[in-house]
Structure 1
């Protein structure tokens, strides 16, 4: 990857997505019960799944 490929958007798009998912999940779970609790938990779990998948992918690419 060349330096030209390292725009701010390419660097921060996944972290911004994780922040948006986390904040939506946290705020939604705090505002209302029922559906929002489940949705909030799902969004928070999604951030963990995405981060773990990225970590595993990076570890695999380094080992090959």
Structure 2
């Protein structure tokens, strides 16, 4: 079954969001402690969890 063509925004929205979240998390990790540590751990876990989800979905 063919999918309709998608625009660049639809194709790159999720990778851009993940990249932006990772950049914010890295800056938070470098600039402070406390709640910024929590933000950095959560933000940097998103790409790892996304890859794990994609690998699991690909195997199924």
Equivalences, count: 58
1:38-57 matches, within 5 Å, as 38-57=38-57
Supply the RMSD in Å over aligned alpha carbons: 1.6
Higher helix share: 1
Unaligned runs of at least 5 residues, structure 1: none
Q: Where in structure 1 do 4 or more consecutive aligned residues deviate above 2 Å?
A: 54-57
Q: TM-score, normalised by structure 2?
A: 0.78
Contact 1:21 1:47 in 2 (8 A): no
Unaligned runs of at least 5 residues, structure 2: none
